[in-house]
Each structure stands twice: as C-alpha cells, then as structure tokens.
Amino acid sequence: MLGGVKRRAMYLGMLSVLVGAAVGMPAAVASADELDDFEFSSFDGVYELSTDADGRSVLEVQETLVAVFPPEQNRGIRRELVDRYDGHPTDLRVLSVTDENGDPREYETEDDGDFEVVTIAGDDFVEGEQTYVITYEQHNVTRYFDDTDADEFYWDVNGTGWAQPFGVVTARVVLEPELQRALTDQVTAVSGAEGDSNPVESFTTADGYEFTQTDLGPGENLTFAIGFDEGTFVPRDGSFGAAPWPLVSVLLAGASLLVAGGAALLRRTRLRDAPGRGIIVAEYLPPKGVGVLLASTISGTTTKATTAQILALAVARNLRIVEVPRMERKKKSKPEYHLEFLTAEGADADSLAFLHAIFGDSLDAGETRDLAQPDAKAVTKISALQAAVTKRATADGYRRALPVGLITLVVVVGLLVGLAAIVFSIVSLVQAYGGFVPVISLTVGALAIVATVALVARQPLEPKGVEVRDHLRGLKVYIALAEADRLRYLQSPQGAERVPVNGGAPVNGAGATDGTGATDAGGPIDPDDTAQVLRLNERLLPYAVLFGAEKEWVEEIGRYYERLDADPYWYYGQGHFNAAIFASSIGSVSTSLSSSYSSSSGGSAGGCPLLTSYAADEGGSVDVRVAPSL
C-alpha cells in the first residue's frame, strides 16, 4: 500500500555564509550527510475527517514532529504536504506552525508541483529536542476504489522521503458520527519502505482508529486505509460546468479564431500581391536591373542571399574563392577557404557595398578574408545592407507600403485574446476542471496566435515586383529542367526570343560584366557552344543557390569545365580540376560562407517564396510553359 499517496519530507540545513554573518554567528558549513545526522523521536498525526454541505470530504490535520538535533548543525526542517490527490488539487491551506507550547514558529511555504513545501526555520541553530506542530486543512481526500467496492480514506502518514529514523509514528483518525455509521470492516495499516507491507498495530477508538508503529528507519512510512460504504462521499466535480474557467477558455479560443479569420481576410485584400500574368515562362537570364539581394527579398529567400551574392561576385570576377593548402589549415580534417578580392569593376551599388562589408574601405587587389572564423563586423554590415535593400524595394515600387496601424491592431488583439485563452485553459487544467476541453482551447489559442502573426507577416508586391517574381519563377523552371531539356529550350522559339548572354566572354578571363559575369549583348545562344552555355550556367549559379539547387547546378558547371579542359577563374582549388571534387568543394564553400557571413536571424520581411509547385498568386492560377519541343 505504500506509495499510493506519498508525502515527502526532508531536513532543512541552511549553509549560507550570508545567513550566519547577518546574525553575527560564525558560518557553519557541513556536508549533506552531516546535516542528515539527526533523528525524530516521534511523529503524531491527528486526522479529523468530515464532510461539507455538499457531501465532499474535508480533512483537518495536526502533525506533531519531535526532532533531536546535534549542536550547531541545523536550523529547522522542511515538510512537504500533499497538494494534489487523485489528479485534482486538495485546496491545501496551512493554518499554523507552532512549538509544543503553541508559540508560533517562523515558516514559509512554496509550491512544488504536487506538494506544498513548508519550510520551518529561523536564523539560529536548533539543538536537542525540538517540537514542530503543523496544522492544515484539505478537501476531497477520499475516493472510490474498484478493487474494494468502497469509498476509502487512503493515506501515507510520515512519508518515505525522510533520511532520518522515527522512534514512533502514530496516526489517530477522528470521524464525525455520520461517517462512523458508514464504516465497513475494511481497515488496513502497513509500514515499511515503498513496496513493503509490514503489519501495523491498530486500535479502535470511540470516534475512529489509531495506528502505531515503532522504529521506522529512513525512508520508511506508515500507511492506512479505512473503508466506507460506496457513495459516502460525493466525488469532486471536475466537469466542464463545475467552474467558469473552461467555458471562458472556449469562448476566448473561439474569439482568437475569429481574429485569425480577420487576419486571413486582411491577407486576401490589403496584403495580397498585385495580379500576375498567370503564365510562368521559363527564363534563362536573370531579371534586368535586379541584383541578387533584391531578388532574394522579392522571392523571400534572404536566408540564402549572402552565399548567393558572394558566388555572384565570384562568377563576375570581382573576387576569387581560394582553397587553403592542407599544411596551412587551422583544422586539418576539413577544407578551408578564403576570399581574395580582385576588382570592383562592373559591380553595381549593392555589390560594391557588399564588397566593402567583407574587405573594408580600401578594396586592395589581392586582399584576402579567411572563412574559417565568423566575421561579426561583416555580418552586421551585410545585415544592414540587406535591410536597406528590403526598404528600398518599397521605395522603388517593388513592394507595397504596409497598413501598419491595421496590422498592429490585428496582431495585438490576436495576441491578447489568444494568450487569455491559453491562461484560462491552464487554470482549468491545474484546477482539474473541464476534462480534455481546456487542452483543445489551449491548442486552438496557441495556433490562432501563430496563424494570425503568420498571415499578416508579409509585404505584398506591386505590379513591378510581381513581374520580377514571375521572372524568377521562370528562372527556377529553367534551372529545374534536365540538361538536355534546357538545351532544347535554348533552340526553341521561346529561347531564341530571349536576349542571350555574350557568347564571346572568355572562360579564364575578366570580360565585361553586369555583376554576374556576362553582358546582355550578342547574338542568340548556340546550345552546341560549350563555352557559351558554361557562361550562362555560371551566371545562374547565385539563383540556383537561392532556389536550393546549387548542388546539382555546380555539378553541371563542373562537367562543362571538364569538356573544355579548363579551370574556373573564380575558384582556385588544390590539384587538377575534377568535376566531382569541384562540386563537393563548392558545397563546403557554401557551408563556410553561411558560417562566416550569414546572420542567424535570417528572415525576409514578407515575400513570395518560389514554391516547387509554382503555386499561383492567392486566388489566381499559374500555367508553367516551356518550349513546345519539351
């Protein structure tokens, strides 16, 4: 029977030097074992069991503990009282703590889950026999048990948490007359450690029972169970209507859903992108006049913008990625890289600002930056640059200005209502009212908060921005095609109509650039010209990074370099060029770049992610078209 309802109790050893100093006493420092070195000569508990006007059980308890302390070791005890029984609170209320003469003792209480901790201690050490009388009241401490087909008062007396022995433990149960008439013959008492069932001496008294056990060791407890006719006690009502909190939580959860619905309506109206063309056509060139940073803002991929921008600068021959020789690496097991500045020629304003963020103000040719360690200063400058680009997207007409006041109102109301639903749900659960309903209310309230914030956390695109977004989606379509399909597309009418890259740009040289390594001049692409296709594929590498396709794209670039028997000018590795090694190395470079220069916050201040399914604008339809020959 031990362990069914446990009350744990422990000594209180106050070791703080500050406490000793505050009262002008020498600090007493002892080990935990030394602080446990005392005993209880006795524990006497008087349990007066009755019922209230509704027929529910009421228990008034007076515990008298007599401890025997050595000199200058302890300042008191700590007693843990049951605060929950059978899954519900017992409304525990500590009435008084005194000594044997009725004089008050200093104490404080704190909640510890299913227990109320009563700390009884003063500033001075206690020694010899010390008596602690704790009086408290509880409710709903009985329940019906199927195995005995009876209501029972089933209780642990001193508890199994003590590290001290007890000379004698006595429990006297006093029953009101009506309860005495409802008694069955099922009365049991046992003692010992948890799981033991040593018989305990029991006595019938004029108004109840008395149970006594001597010489209980540390961790040993006295437990008793007294049976009553079924229905003697009215069970605690934990139904939905027993308290107002579950209903309040449901109403607030419903209100939070209404606010989330308002946020959805706001997203479909004021926060909706301008109408797009509805047809996504494959594109093999980046949108004109839109740099990588702005493209990442419009597409909602700013978390990958730093890596994409650095690779764009590398492909444009503004910098070079150099693999550090093994003998010079700080960490011998992994490849390490540094960035080498080459030239600012051809870099637009954002690219130039990015170069300054990494290499500083001077931009001296040949200057390097190690990727082995994070660069906090560069991260700060890059984050500021990305924020400026995002802000400029609105000023330049790519994004619509937000209705800040309306959004703030929706978010604040959603947070207040949702949090209130969560709070009242928690109160219902803690007080054990409403069954599973408060769990649903809590979940709905939390999800409504998330949904409300997510629905309004976007900045819609203007027609100018939608055009760029659709172009980027077309670029992703092209990148996602198989190599043979891309070559056929370049030969198709759609491909021929596009303005191609300059076919004359050298593979190992610094030709004229627009920030991504190629000009927008020249005749149509010749799909059979490996150098031309390579230049095109290199130019799209930063966008492949934004779309999460850099691994496959780098592998293809590597194969083209192998066909040309050439090395990339913008990447300097160790040993002879190998496409597989090149692809693996660029993957390592991407990881190093993210570690060194990417802000941990990420984000995109709204955006229109380039979904793999190429879903349409909200409420619209999208048709993905490529060459008829594909």
Residue-by-residue DSSP string for 438-461: HHHHHHHHHHHHHHHHHHH---PB
Is the separation of the CB atoms in 257 and 448 below 8 Å? yes
| Distance (Å, whole) CA 502 – CA 523 | 7
Alpha helices in 110-237 (DSSP H): 177-181
Q: What are phi and psi of 330, to 5 degrees?
A: -75, -35
Is the separation of the CB atoms in 197 and 2 below 8 Å? yes
Which CATH number among 3.40.50, 2.60.40, 3.30.160, 3.30.70 corresponds to the domain 9-228?
Answer: 2.60.40
Alpha helices in 396-436 (DSSP H): 404-430
* Between 558 and 211, the higher pLDDT residue: 211
Sign of CA dihedral 225, 229, 232, 235: positive
Is the separation of the CB atoms in 222 and 200 below 8 Å? yes
In SS3 terms, 578-599 reads as: CHHHHHHHHHHHHHHHHHHHCC
Contacts of 497 (CB under 8 A, 6+ apart): none
pLDDT tens digits, residue range 363-387? 999 998 888 778 889 899 999 999 9
Is the separation of the CB atoms in 95 and 102 below 8 Å? no
pLDDT of residue 119: 94
pLDDT of residue 614: 39
| Distance (Å, whole) CA 369 – CA 321 | 10
| Distance (Å, whole) CA 457 – CA 606 | 6
pLDDT tens digits, residue range 156-167? 999 988 999 999
pLDDT of residue 498: 58
pLDDT tens digits, residue range 70-121? 999 999 999 999 898 988 999 999 999 999 999 999 999 998 888 899 999 9
Q: Is a pLDDT exceeding 80 seen at residue 520? A: no
Percent of the chain with pLDDT over 70: 83
If you average pLDDT over residues 113-138, what whole number do you get?
93
Q: Is a pLDDT exceeding 70 seen at residue 30? A: no
Contacts of 533 (CB under 8 A, 6+ apart): 487, 490, 525, 527, 560
Closest residue by Cα to residue 120 from 158, 159, 77: 77
Stretch among 14-28, 320-334, 460-474, 545-559 having the lowest mean pLDDT: 14-28
If you average pLDDT over residues 240-269, what whole number do you get?
96
> Look-up: residue for tokens 């021959």?
317
Sign of CA dihedral 492, 498, 503, 507: negative
If you average pLDDT over residues 573-591, what whole number do you get?
76
pLDDT of residue 509: 37
Stretch among 236-245, 316-325, 589-598 having the lowest mean pLDDT: 589-598
| Distance (Å, whole) CA 615 – CA 625 | 14
Q: Is a pLDDT exceeding 90 seen at residue 151? A: yes
Is the separation of the CB atoms in 341 and 313 below 8 Å? no
The two beta strands, 39-51 and 166-175, are parallel
If you average pLDDT over residues 23-48, what whole number do you get?
71
pLDDT of residue 332: 66
If you average pLDDT over residues 224-232, what whole number do you get?
96
> Look-up: residue for tokens 């000199």?
71
| Distance (Å, whole) CA 468 – CA 543 | 13
The two beta strands, 623-625 and 279-281, are parallel
If you average pLDDT over residues 339-350, what whole number do you get?
93
Q: Is a pLDDT exceeding 50 seen at residue 606? A: no
| Distance (Å, whole) CA 528 – CA 191 | 92
Helix (DSSP H) and strand (DSSP E) numbers for the chain = 17, 22
pLDDT of residue 280: 87
pTM score > 0.85 for this model? no
* Between 573 and 377, the higher pLDDT residue: 377
Mean pLDDT score across all residues of the chain: 84
| Distance (Å, whole) CA 304 – CA 593 | 10
If you average pLDDT over residues 332-342, what whole number do you get?
83
Contacts of 295 (CB under 8 A, 6+ apart): 286, 287, 468, 472, 543, 546
Q: Of the ranges 22-36, 436-450, 519-533, which is most confident?
A: 436-450
Stretch among 12-16, 57-61, 603-607 having the lowest mean pLDDT: 12-16
pLDDT of residue 245: 96
Percent of the chain with pLDDT over 90: 60
- Segment (H or E) for 263: helix 245-268
Contacts of 387 (CB under 8 A, 6+ apart): none
Closest residue by Cα to residue 232 from 179, 184, 173: 179
